[in-house]
Amino acid sequence: MNKSLIALTAVGATFTMAACNAPNNNDRTTSLPRTVSAAVAANDPTAGYNAPPAPRDLSPPPANAIKAAPGTDSEAAFANRPNYKDPPPQKEIGDPPEAQHLAVMAQDAAAKAPDTASADEAKKAVMADKGGSPK
C-alpha cells in the first residue's frame, strides 16, 4: 500500500472522530446545538436511562379486553349479505367400490401374465367371471 494513502486514511479518520465531539464535551458522541445546555440534556428525567420506571399494573384486565377492535367485527361487516343456502350435496365421482375392487383384481391378473396379449386375455377373463366389463 502507498504510504500517502495510509496517511490520508489516518488523517481522515482523525478528522471524522474529532468532528463528532466538541473539545469541551468528551462524553457525547454528537455535538449539541448551541441553544441546548449539556447539563439539561444529560439530566432530562423523561428520556433514556434516567427516566423513572413505569409503575407495575397488577389490576385485572378490563371486561372488554377480548372484544374485537371497532371495524373488525365480521358480523357487522356482512350484516347486509344475502341469506345463502347450504351448497347441494356433491355427486360421487367414479365407479362404486365393488367395481373398483374388480378392476384392481383384473389389473393384478394382467400383471402376472408373461406378455401383453395374455395380460389382456387375463383381464377380460376376470372381468367376465365377476360380471364386469373390461375398460
DSSP state of 88: P
Domain that holds residue 114: 97-130
pTM of the model: 0.32
More confident residue, 73 or 5: 5
More confident residue, 113 or 66: 113
Asked if the structure places residue 2 within a domain, the reply is yes
What is the reported pLDDT for 112? 93
Asked if the structure places residue 30 within a domain, the reply is yes
* Cell representation of residue 48: 433514556
Asked if the structure places residue 38 within a domain, the reply is yes
Domain count, the chain: 2
- Report whether 99 contacts 135 (CB < 8 A): no
What is the reported pLDDT for 104? 92
Give residue 132's pLDDT band: very low, low, confident or very high (50, 70, 90): low
Question: 64-108, pLDDT tens digit by residue?
Answer: 777 767 667 666 666 666 556 677 777 778 888 888 899 999 999
Asked if the structure places residue 79 within a domain, the reply is no
* Cell representation of residue 127: 372381468
Asked if the structure places residue 101 within a domain, the reply is yes
- Report whether 122 contacts 112 (CB < 8 A): yes
Asked if the structure places residue 23 within a domain, the reply is yes
Asked if the structure places residue 85 within a domain, the reply is no
Q: How many CB atoms lie within 10 A of CB 117?
A: 9
pLDDT of residue 8 exceeding 70: yes
Question: 29-64, pLDDT tens digit by residue?
Answer: 566 667 777 666 665 555 556 567 778 888 888 887
More confident residue, 128 or 35: 128
> Which single residue is written with the C-alpha cell 432530562?
44
Helices (H), ranges, the chain:
3-20, 38-42, 74-77, 97-112, 116-130
What is the reported pLDDT for 115? 92
